[in-house]
Amino acid sequence: MSGVEQRSDVQGIHSLADVVEHSELILTCGPGGVGKTTTAAALGVAAARSGRKVVVVTVDPARRLADALGLDDSAEADEPHLVPGVTKRATDGELWALMLDAEQTFDRLVREQAGSRKQADAVLNNPVYQAISGSLSGAQEYMAVERLHQLHVSGEWDLVIVDTPPSRHAIDLLEAPDRLVGFLSHPVYRALTVGQRTFAKITDAASSMFLWAVKRLAGPQIVEDTVQFFRSLANIEGGLRQRAKEVSRLLRGDRTSFVVVCSPRAEAVGEAEHLLDAIAAKHFPLGGLVVNLIHPLPDPLSDADVELLADIGEGPLAEQVEWHRELTRLATAERNELVALEKLAGDAPIVELPLLDVDIHDVPGLIGLAARLV
Ligand SMILES: Nc1ncnc2c1ncn2[C@@H]1O[C@H](COP(=O)(O)OP(=O)(O)OP(=O)(O)O)[C@@H](O)[C@H]1O
Ligand SMILES: [Mg+2]
């Protein structure tokens, strides 16, 4: 078996119901388009209906789902909103939702870490920051986990659920905090942030080549702005490093659960296998595997039925039988595709969610999905 850190080793977690009842942080991650955002929202519904006060951080939800969660394009979508219609019974908790805004999250982080308003403004008002914030590689992923940290330490929530940005590689989320530290340690960054005098003396080939190239491509002003930007960032560097470490620790805490979402498509399965390997190798706690969008396996025909149907010729009944065979073949092929993946999940709970013939875009749809998940 793999070295996956199972939640079941820690606190008797055997199902996704246990995960939503006992975790303080849940991250849904997986390949693109498999239902991560939908699963994050449905887990939130399940947790709220088990009495907890939950906030779900969604990233780029489909329009109609965003509407159902009470999130629109306004700036306040980045702050928690109470989702109506989820909790009705006295024993229910509350479901809140927000839409991740990477820029606002970073602005908040900079303001918190800066020693003064002036220091914060030096970073935030720099034209380079304004041009690159939100589009830095990995920034979305880092900001998703940063937002998780902000909400967790506020102490207001029993459970924070974070959805993963649609990225080319689901693994980016796991590496985001280390990547930030790596960036702060990069020789070019180090060379750019040393004091003015030292900077003038610097003969480091990498950074002078870099600046020469930038100057040629973009003109001297942008070089000046870039250098100023990195210098202003250097003032809060200690804070950023410290925070990246805390986030990294939080992601491995005993009340954190990663829920990997996947579909039975070969490409998605390959990526999910890679992700489960990385989760195990980097000691992140796996809370469960959700296999979404799977075709249900039809009940097999009995021997008597097979005999009866042996020579039915053509017609609607024959078409039904053919359809039954086709669906059985497809559903079986999907399950074969998943064998290795399910092994990698070790003892973590595995839940199959069928491919539904309707889109899940409203609260009743999420309540139905939550019931299937837990
Ligand atoms: N079990 C299901 N049956 C039918 N439709 C589903 C199911 N699960 C999710 N969907 C639909 O599939 C679409 C993609 O789902 P979702 O946005 O949750 O995926 P995602 O993994 O978050 O995608 P991205 O990687 O782009 O963020 C949505 O329209 C959603 O309603
Ligand atoms: Mg999504």
Burial (CB count <10 Å: 0-12, 13-18, 19+), residue 283: exposed
Whole-prediction pTM value?
A: 0.85
* Span 40-95, pLDDT tens digits: 999 999 999 999 999 999 988 888 888 888 887 666 888 999 998 998 888 889 99
Q: Which of 37, 271, 363 to mutate to test the pocket of ligand 1 (most atoms within 8 A of CB)?
A: 37
Query: What tokens were used for 347?
Result: 């003892």
In the reported structure, the alpha carbon of residue 62 is separated from the centroid of ligand 1 by a whole-number distance in angstroms of 8
Give the number of the atom of ligand 1 that is nearest the alpha carbon of residue 40. Answer: 18
In the reported structure, the alpha carbon of residue 36 is separated from the centroid of ligand 1 by a whole-number distance in angstroms of 7
Q: Which of 57, 69, 360, 361 to mutate to test the pocket of ligand 1 (most atoms within 8 A of CB)?
A: 360
Angle at the Cα of 29 from the Cα atoms of 93 and 142, rounded to 5 degrees: 95
Helices (H), the chain: 7-11, 16-22, 36-49, 63-68, 102-113, 117-124, 127-132, 139-153, 172-185, 187-193, 196-201, 205-218, 220-234, 237-250, 266-281, 303-308, 316-344, 363-373
What pLDDT, on a 0 to 100 scale, did the predictor assign at position 136? 56
Domains and CATH numbers, the chain: 5-177+251-296+338-373 (3.40.50.300)
What pLDDT, on a 0 to 100 scale, did the predictor assign at position 2? 45
What sign does the CA torsion over 282, 284, 286, 292 have? Answer: negative
Distances (CA, A) of 61 to 33, 213, 369: 11, 39, 16
User: What is the rounded CA–CA span in Å between residue 272 and residue 278?
Assistant: 10
What pLDDT, on a 0 to 100 scale, did the predictor assign at position 201? 52
What pLDDT, on a 0 to 100 scale, did the predictor assign at position 110? 85
Q: Which residue type occupies 330? A: L
What pLDDT, on a 0 to 100 scale, did the predictor assign at position 298? 92
Quick check: 98 and 59 in contact, CB under 8 A? no
Residues with C-beta less than 6 Å from any ligand 1 atom = 32-38, 60, 62, 166, 292-293, 353, 355-356, 359-361
Quick check: 287 and 7 in contact, CB under 8 A? yes
For the chain, which residues score pLDDT lower than 50?
Answer: 1-3, 137, 200, 202-203
Give the number of the atom of ligand 1 that is nearest the alpha carbon of residue 38. Answer: 18
* Span 132-183, pLDDT tens digits: 665 554 677 788 888 899 999 999 999 999 998 776 677 777 877 777 777 7
Give the number of the atom of ligand 1 that is nearest the alpha carbon of residue 41. Answer: 18
